[in-house]
Amino acid sequence: MPEQESSRTLKVDYLARVEGEGSIFMRLEGQQAREVRLQIFEPPRFFEGFLRGRAQSEAPDITARICGICPVAYQMSSSHAIERALGVTVEGALRKLRRLLYAGEYIESHALHLFMLHAPDFLGYEDALLMAKDHPGVVTRGLRMKKIGNAVVELLGGREIHPINVRLGGFYRLPARSELETLLPELEWGLEAARETVSWTAGLAYPEFEQDYEFVSLRHPDEYPVNEGRIVSNKGLDIPVEQYDEIFVEEHDEHSTALRSHIKGRGPYLTGPLARFNLNFDRLRPPARQAALSAGLEPACRNPFKSLIVRAIELVQVFDEALAIIREYQPPPVPHVDIPTRAGTGHAITEAPRGMLFHRYTVDAEGIIQDAKIVAPTSQNQRIIEEDLRLLAPQLAALDPARATWLAEQAVRNYDPCISCSCHFLKLDIERV
Amino acid sequence: MPLNARPGALVVALGQRAAGDDGAGLAVLDELRRLALPEGTELRALAEASSLVPLLETPRPVIVVDAVVGPEPGTVRVLSPAELARGSSLAVSSHGISVGQAFAMAHILYGDALSLEIDIVGIAIAPPNRYAEGISPVVQAAVGSAVALIIGLLTGEGHGSPPSLA
């Protein structure tokens, strides 16, 4: 075969519709990917260093600033980890309010990603603005859903971005039942809209692609996982969160300023909506499970592009749960449980919209943070994103440069990467030699 | 009432108080709340621009006040949606949309139902690089000019460039 037919260089300088700064480099030889690098070059943000020497009570507010779209996840993981270090458990209505707050964040994050960022890939538009001209209903539905999520977070969290009403042990101020009830009409609309979104996304065309993933997520005895559970996988992993450091490894690569995770002795794994869905299908609330079945989707779904449908199913889940929590809400007697000071180490994982968010803190007897470790979902998914691109190589090699770039970007967006969280923006270079 | 007054206007401030000078628009709104405004004027605060889109589907005049990154922090300018959209990337990030994108989106979605009178009062700030409550002295000094400009737009009186206009 002539050289020019077996080798090609494809270069894309900018991958839009993700958060953060980075690039992807691919070298293809024929149909094989010889090199795939998710290159993250955004400067490290040193939040773990900032936390050392600060009061334990500051951790939820400091870590919330790591991310503008998932601050609740940081607040929940930090609160749970420190509470575990102190032997504190938050139960009852306070626990449900935390799930409600998290539901608001899921609505914001999933609606923005599904409608504005990922749907254009499947409908053949470069961005949501171009898509809006032909599909105004899709965009207005997404905007209305996001607004509902904002309203939930604002009411419970005190403001839409970087909430200020979360503290160790619960909240500073509790909402009155009448305040929460103001959310009901829009949440009821949202539940129906989410069901329609599942049907709509199930009707889109998806690239043929699967791989034998190790899916990893939390699993709770009774509920779809949010704030607690054991770490499980489809390949036999079943450990308490406290053993995270024994099983998962974060390493630096030269081409990335973010840590990259893998399972010791096994390799990369996938965390996020697809993992939660596959490992917790039986924990979905009935409306969400029914929506999935109606869409023809049940475990094990190994096509990462179908994470679009899974996010819609999770929207049904969180709208339905938010409605239930508000309808059953009886204000607890106190807005927060007492928080002692004592030396200890605590671990927590909560399920952020993008996947597992691990926090570990060591605090001293005066309540000062001595050590902190944070592992964001995008750090955990970096290697599996590269693996997807490597396995997509035969398809990429068969496409013209523009289509290959489109498909590669779409594959990255399956993970809704927040590069700034793992510390990072994407630019795609594919070199074919 | 002067012909160029904006009766029943919606004044929307965008920003985050926790992000330093990004809260400039909210500081202007705080001042406006202390004043007697023309009847029917409504004041709203938003943390991010996606919530602005549906508000633009209205027959009412809309005035948006927001911090804009510019070379001369503390200057105040009236911009049109088109001017703002020109300086705005079309690439929506996973963390939200810009004000320029919000106007472009609303224009596409609502067409003729879009407010016919939209003004953006932009307060120039340096690129925000800190998380701190409160705005800097140079931006605080521009709040009065922005308020005067908005009052001028609402009443149709004194509409024009305040002394600190760039």
Poorest-pLDDT segment among A34-43, A418-427, B155-164: A418-427
**pLDDT (tens digit per residue) in B35-56:** 999 999 999 999 888 889 999 9
Helices (H), B113-156: 137-155
The reply to whether A129 touches chain B by the CB within 8 Å rule is yes
Instruction: Note whether B60 and B8 are within 8 A (CB).
Output: yes
pLDDT of residue A411: 92
Tell whether the model's pLDDT for residue A357 goes beyond 80.
yes
pLDDT exceeds 50 at position B163:
no
Q: Can you tell me the distance from the alpha carbon of B134 to that of B120, in angstroms, rounded to the nearest whole number? A: 22
What CA dihedral angle connects B134, B137, B143 and B146, to 10 degrees?
-120
Cβ-defined contact of A17 to B109 (cutoff 8 Å): no
Reported as a pLDDT band with limits 50, 70 and 90, residue A105 is very high
Q: How many beta-carbon pairs below 8 A join chains A and B?
A: 84
Per the model's pLDDT, the better-predicted residue between B16 and A121 turns out to be A121
And the tokens for A182? 């103001």
- Residue B18 is predicted with a pLDDT of 77
Tell me what percent of the residues of chain B surpass a pLDDT of 70. 83
Closest Cα of chain A to B89: distance in Å?
10
Architecture in CATH for domain A47-380: Orthogonal Bundle (1.10)
Position A346, amino acid: G
> Scanning every residue of chain A, which has its alpha carbon at the shortest distance from the alpha carbon of B53?
A143
Interface of A with B in 34-73 (CB under 8 A): 65, 67-69
pLDDT band of A424, cuts 50, 70, 90: very low
Portion 70-109 of B in contact with A at CB < 8 A: 90-97, 101, 104-105, 108-109
Q: What is the reported pLDDT for A256? A: 65
Report d(CA A408, CA A314) in Å as an integer: 25
CB atoms within 10 A of CB B34: 8
pLDDT value for B82: 79
Looking at every residue in chain A, the average pLDDT score rounds to 90
Q: State residue A203's pLDDT score.
A: 97
What percent of chain A clears pLDDT 70, i.e. is strictly above it? 88
Whether residues B53 and A143 touch (CB distance < 8 A) is answered with yes
DSSP A257: S
CA distance B158 to chain A (A): 35
Q: What share of residues in chain B are helix, strand, coil (percent, to 5)? A: 35, 20, 40
Q: What is the DSSP letter of A113?
A: I
Whole-prediction pTM: 0.88
Q: Determine the Cα–Cα distance for residues B121 and B119; give it in Å rounded to an integer.
A: 6
Question: What distance in Å separates the CA atoms of residue A359 and residue A244, rounded to the nearest whole number?
Answer: 10
Closest CB to B94: pick one of A113, A127, A164: A113
CB contacts under 8 A, B 44-73 vs A, are 46-48, 50-51, 53-54
CB contact under 8 A, A129 and B104: yes
- Chain B: closest CA distance from residue A168 (Å): 20
- The pLDDT of A43-65, averaged and rounded, is 87
Q: What percent of chain B has pLDDT over 90?
A: 48
Contact B27, B140 (CB under 8 A): yes
| Phi, psi at B95, each rounded to 5° | -115, 10
pLDDT digits (tens, 9 = 90+) for A391-403: 998 898 888 888 8
Q: Is A128 in contact with B94 (Cβ distance < 8 A)?
A: no
**Could you give all domains of chain B from N- to C-terminal order, each with its CATH number?**
10-155 (3.40.50.1450)
The DSSP secondary structure of A126-187, one letter per residue, reads SSHHHHHHH-HHHHHHHHHHHHHHHHHHHHHHSSSSS-SSEETTEESSPPPHHHHHTTHHHH
Beta-bridge partners for A209: none
Predicted pLDDT of residue A5: 45
**Residue % of chain A over a pLDDT of 90:** 73
B104 contact residues in A (CB cutoff 8 A):
129
Confidence of residue A28 (pLDDT cuts 50, 70, 90): confident
| Interface check A133 vs B, CB under 8 A | yes
Q: Is the pLDDT of residue A427 over 90?
A: no
Pairing assessment for the beta strands A369-375 and B42-46 based on DSSP bridges:
unpaired
Domain spans of chain A, in order of start: 3-43+384-432, 47-380
Q: Above 50 in pLDDT, residue B73?
A: yes
pLDDT at B21 over 80: yes
Q: Which residues of B touch A161 (CB under 8 A)?
A: 16, 18, 47-48
Query: Which residue's structure tokens are 């998914």?
Result: A381
| The pLDDT of residue A82 | 98
State the pLDDT at residue A253: 75
Residue A299 vs residue B3, higher pLDDT: A299
Q: Is the pLDDT of residue B81 over 90?
A: no
CB A306 within 8 A of CB A202: no
Q: Is the pLDDT of residue B65 over 60?
A: yes
The CA distance from A226 to A97, in Å, is: 12
Residue A417 scores a pLDDT above 50: yes
How much is the pLDDT for A35?
83
CB atoms B108 and A69 under 8 Å: no
Interatomic CA distance for residues B60 and B63, integer angstroms:
10
Q: Is A271 exposed, middle or buried (0-12, 13-18, 19+ CB in 10 A)?
A: buried
B98 CB neighbours in chain A (<8 A) are: none
In this prediction, residue A266 carries a pLDDT of 93
Q: Which residue has the higher pLDDT, A156 or B86?
A: A156
Distance CA B76, CA B164 (A): 6
pLDDT per residue over A203-236, tens digit each? 999 999 999 999 999 999 999 999 999 999 999 9
Coil, helix or strand for A115?
Answer: helix
Pairing of β A355-363 and β A369-375: antiparallel
CB contact under 8 A, A113 and B91: no
How much is the CA Rg of chain B, to the nearest whole Å? 15
Cβ of A161 within 8 Å of Cβ of B54? The answer is no
Stronger pLDDT, A1 or A375, i.e. the higher one: A375
Identity of the amino acid at A325: I
Instruction: Return d(Cα A192, Cα A187) in angstroms, integer.
Output: 9
Residue A431: other Cβ atoms inside 10 A: 16
How many CB atoms neighbour CB A129 within 10 A? 22
As a dihedral over the C-alpha atoms of residue A268, residue A274, residue A280, residue A285, rounded to 10 degrees, the angle is 160
Q: Does residue B16 belong to the interface with chain A, where contact is any CB pair within 8 Å?
A: yes
Of B22 and A334, more confident:
A334
- Per DSSP, B160 falls in state S
Q: pLDDT (tens digit, 9 = 90+) per residue, B85-139?
A: 665 544 445 456 788 888 989 999 998 899 989 999 999 998 766 667 788 999 9
Q: Which residues pair with B77 in a beta bridge?
A: B122
Which runs of consecutive H residues, i.e. helices, occur in chain B? 24-33, 52-55, 81-86, 99-110, 137-155
A198 membership: H or E segment, kind and range? helix A184-202
Q: What is the ipTM of this complex?
A: 0.76
Burial per residue of A374-401, b for 16 or more beta-carbon CB atoms within 10 angstroms, e otherwise: bbbbbbbbbbbbbbbbbbbbebbbeeee
Give the per-residue pLDDT at A3.
40
pLDDT confidence of residue A423? 43
Per-residue pLDDT tens over the stretch A299-317: 999 999 999 999 999 999 9
- Residue A361 clears pLDDT 70, i.e. is over it: yes
Structure tokens, A159: 């403001």
Whether the CB-CB separation of A121 and A304 falls below 8 Å is answered with no
